[in-house]
Structure 1
Amino acid sequence: MIPHNSVIFGLDPLWLSTVLLIISYVVLLSERYNRTVIALLGAGLVIITGLISQNQAIAAIDFNTIALLTGMMIIVAVTRTSGVFEFVAIWSAKKVKADPMGILIVLSIVTAVFSAFLDNLTTVLLVVPIALLIVEKLKVSPYPFLFSQIIASNIGGTATLIGDPPNILIGSATGLTFMQFLTNLGPVSVVLMILMVPIFKYLWADELVATEQDKESIMRFREAESITDKRLLIISLSILLMVIIGFIVGEQYHIPPGTIAMFGAAVMVLAASYHLNSEGQAEVLHHALLEVEWAALLFFIGLFIIVAGVEHAGLLNILGEALIEFTGGDPAKTAYATLWLSALVSAAVDNIPFVATMIPMVESMEASLGGAEALEPVWWSLALGACLGGNGSLVGAAANVMVSGLSERAGYPISFFKFLKFAMPIMLMTIVIANIYIYLRYFM
């Protein structure tokens, strides 16, 4: 804890940090103001009020997370210019003879897989516009496609370290590796995605019907024409594959994922532009940097600082002790409680700030539960609860907000309650299955 006299006006640091955290959450949830601006304002107040110093604030920023996100955004930006993602979508649609339900299932699976190995935010940016194009050609309702994209992106993103921002935060804070995420969360993600297929068919099979004429318009698409640069296609996919391999083997050499992603991004930009003159090289770099979600990165930075203020004041230790007291220090009960708490809260608020707040709280439980090994199932519970819980509402995850924005821009606004009515039962079902999985794998 920090002493009282280090805080402006002599205010109680515990009280002050709690008020700042609650205000930040409430304003973020209202969606009235830009979340990045609110996070940076909150971070500034944490420093100005003396909860932590500027040096402590800088130390609180998880630069591994920032580097990992930045590097992957650059890699995907360069890869996208080759047209490979459009190729996959068109090829997939033609493989199911342009049947709307078949396309929905295939696009959902493509999104789940891409979300695991790119990240779900980037994936929906790539796939949703293509899904909307197909919807227009087939003259069917866009909402089954949009809703299934949200569900699939969050389930797929659950499977790996880089798939969903909450996992990136957890992995960076704990040192849990790419392969640990894949082997612990991959199996349940695959099971859940398989279960989604009959659920989607039950919900929408009767609604998604297209005429033969409209199907023909899809079959006339030439997927080969979507590849705009074959040379770049080979280079970018090769480098992307090497980066993923780097995530897997880097743990043996203690190379953080952020370093691998940034190095891969630099190699990607160089490989894509080395044959050009200096102006051409600058243009490639400029385009890649424009595709980076700088607002999202600044949001993370602000969030890290706000949470650091709360942590220094001792609030998270108090909450962690309260949870331990509630579960009696039993590792299984603590894991289940963490799973359900994170799922329900992540459905109500963006799962990114929630997980950033929960990480130091879970860390404070280590001694009470018997060490780092006993704590590991709690980390997997936090990841599953936050990622799958994000499916519970339109504001639960960044990918949801992104899909909502893309659809509204295309003229298909998504009602908060319409999505809630569809998504909440599915989210609760996935959490029940995740709870069973945690029991069978770690506590049976």
Structure 2
Amino acid sequence: MAIFAISVFVVAYALIASDRINKTFVALIGAGLVLAVGILDAQDAFYHHETGIDWNVIFLLFGMMIIVGVLRQTGVFEYVAIWAAKRANGSPLRIMILLILVTAFASALLDNVTTILLIAPVTLLVCDRLEINPIPFLIAEVLASNIGGASTLVGDPPNIIIASRANLTFNDFLAHMTPIVLIIIAVFIALVPFIFRGSFHVDPERVADVMSLNEREAIRDRSLLIKSCIVLVLVFAAFILHSVLHIEPSIVALLGAGVLVVISRLDRDDYLASVEWETLLFFAGLFIMVGALVKTGVVEALARSAIELTQGNGLLTAMLILGVSAPVSGIIDNIPFTATMTPIVAELSASITDLSHPDVLWWALALGADLGGNLTAVGASANVVMLGIARRAGHPISFWEFTRKGALITVVSIVLSALYLWLRYFVWG
């Protein structure tokens, strides 16, 4: 069964990477195959928290897509797009840096998928106004989102899993993860002109046209905007206070969406226009295929085999956890991988005696799982959502177009993280 699960996943992954067959179709066929042969049953696929569909992710996406659909009717995205372009004096490079900073900061407070759902429409409008290619901007934003999300407990789902298992607090993540995230973001911005070279040419006449616009005129429904902002602030507050309220972000998003649908009185077609149905189905299929790898013990076997090579050396163990987590999280979803790794890391943290800081292995896992999401186009939920938005906007991004840039940033991020772990926890203690 393990060989069959691996074969299905490898073939499906190859087809997704080829961009020749619709990725949602491939994911659903792969999920159907592992269900048909009995690797997973209904209980495993739909209800089990380790091997099944992560409904919290699905419904968080669905709820936030509806919220974005309502916000779109107010004209607020056009307002922000014009405001951002004018603040950057129409310079595409400055606009990209501004959007990277906004995205990284927002992803630290919200989950990175929500941030992409809110920032991507603004980006598409800015690029449309300036008549420039939005693809480099969208890729840069999602890379920044995955980096920024690593800095806090609520920024990326793996951090929530790790915090729960290791009894780590929001402040622990701020103290140990935020410093390296700030360094990585600074390096990323410095590399932007090189990574996206050739993407910053713009017609001066288009810049002049944008600078002459009045962003306030873009608002079409001020009353609905006020109502939407109130609901959105409450939703964001509930996200941030997750550890206090004990209400899942998916429930918060659905409640917020429901309230907006009721008070907006919009037609169904209006608030459902932003729902990426194909993206939601792709996630469902991907979760089931990865669940088959978890159920057959493939993920755990790979993790244990790699970690056994360290023979109890604290520094080597931390580096290996970081080095294994990044590529594996870039290939399969980092949520099931993190869930599988946490008991292994807990055991290692308790058994290895030469650790200068008891939580260093947890930080290695968090950095590898979070930053590894930038490796490929399907390495993180935010990546898949961004690809879906770009495709619907008429700007499809190929698997390899994303991965060429994401892989470079991942390598740089992991090298910086390795230096950070070594210096902070093994050199300086």
Distance 2:412 2:67 in 1: 35
Note if contact 2:17-2:399 (Cα within 8 Å) is conserved in structure 1.
no
Shift of 1:265: 1.9
Name the counterpart of 2:91.
99
Shift of 1:365: 0.8
Note if contact 1:159-1:181 (Cα within 8 Å) is conserved in structure 2.
no
Name the counterpart of 1:355.
334
Give secondary structure in 2 for the equivalent of 1:247: helix
> Is the counterpart of residue 171 in structure 1 residue 171 in structure 2?
no
Name the counterpart of 2:354.
none
Q: Deviations over 1:65-122 (max 9, x none)?
A: 2222222222222223222232222112212332343233223323334445362542
Structure 1 residues 422 and 19: CA distance shift in structure 2, 3 A: closer
Name the counterpart of 2:283.
300
Give secondary structure in 2 for the equivalent of 1:365: helix
Distance 1:23 1:207 in 2: 34
Name the counterpart of 1:237.
229
Shift of 1:311: 2.7
Note if contact 1:75-1:265 (Cα within 8 Å) is conserved in structure 2.
yes
Structure 1 residues 433 and 85: CA distance shift in structure 2, 3 A: farther
The partner residue of 1:47 within 35, 48, 54 is 35
Shift of 1:29: 2.9
Shift of 1:322: 0.9
Name the counterpart of 1:6.
none
Structure 1 residues 158 and 126: CA distance shift in structure 2, 3 A: farther
Q: Deviations over 1:44-65 (max 9, x none)?
A: 2223212232223222232222
Shift of 1:320: 2.9
Structure 1 residues 253 and 217: CA distance shift in structure 2, 3 A: closer
Structure 1 residues 307 and 74: CA distance shift in structure 2, 3 A: same
Q: Deviations over 1:182-223 (max 9, x none)?
A: 635444333322333333357779984667544321211211
Note if contact 2:82-2:126 (Cα within 8 Å) is conserved in structure 1.
no
> Is the counterpart of residue 57 in structure 1 residue 45 in structure 2?
yes
Structure 1 residues 247 and 151: CA distance shift in structure 2, 3 A: closer
Over the aligned positions, Cα root-mean-square deviation in angstroms equals 3.9
> Is the counterpart of residue 28 in structure 1 residue 16 in structure 2?
yes
Name the counterpart of 1:133.
128
> Is the counterpart of residue 369 in structure 1 residue 348 in structure 2?
yes
Note if contact 2:116-2:142 (Cα within 8 Å) is conserved in structure 1.
no
Identity %: 35
Note if contact 2:129-2:206 (Cα within 8 Å) is conserved in structure 1.
no
Name the counterpart of 1:289.
272
The structure that is helix-richer by fraction is 1
Note if contact 2:294-2:300 (Cα within 8 Å) is conserved in structure 1.
yes
Distance 1:56 1:386 in 2: 24
Q: Which amino acid aligns with 2:20?
A: R
Q: How does 1:305-324 map to 2 (within 5 A)?
A: 305-324=288-307
Shift of 1:143: 6.8
Distance 1:326 1:262 in 2: 45
Q: Where does structure 2 lack aligned partners over 5 or more consecutive residues?
A: 352-356
The partner residue of 1:223 within 183, 206, 215 is 215
Q: Which has the higher contact order (CA 8 A, sep 6+)?
A: 2
Distance 1:296 1:321 in 2: 32
Shift of 1:405: 7.3
Distance 1:206 1:42 in 2: 38
Distance 1:375 1:303 in 2: 34
Shift of 1:395: 5.9
Name the counterpart of 1:194.
186
Note if contact 1:389-1:427 (Cα within 8 Å) is conserved in structure 2.
yes
Structure 1, 83-92 or 407-416: larger mean CA deviation: 407-416
Give secondary structure in 2 for the equivalent of 1:305: helix
Q: How does 1:376-415 map to 2 (within 5 A)?
A: 378=361, 380-392=363-375
Structure 1 residues 366 and 79: CA distance shift in structure 2, 3 A: same
Distance 1:419 1:333 in 2: 31
Q: Which amino acid aligns with 1:306?
A: M
Structure 1, 226-235 or 334-343: larger mean CA deviation: 334-343
Name the counterpart of 2:143.
151
Q: Report how many aligned residue pairs link the two structures.
A: 413
Distance 2:273 2:135 in 1: 30
Q: Which amino acid aligns with 2:418?
A: N
Structure 1 residues 412 and 247: CA distance shift in structure 2, 3 A: closer
Structure 1 residues 246 and 179: CA distance shift in structure 2, 3 A: farther
Give secondary structure in 2 for the equivalent of 1:327: coil
Structure 1 residues 189 and 293: CA distance shift in structure 2, 3 A: farther
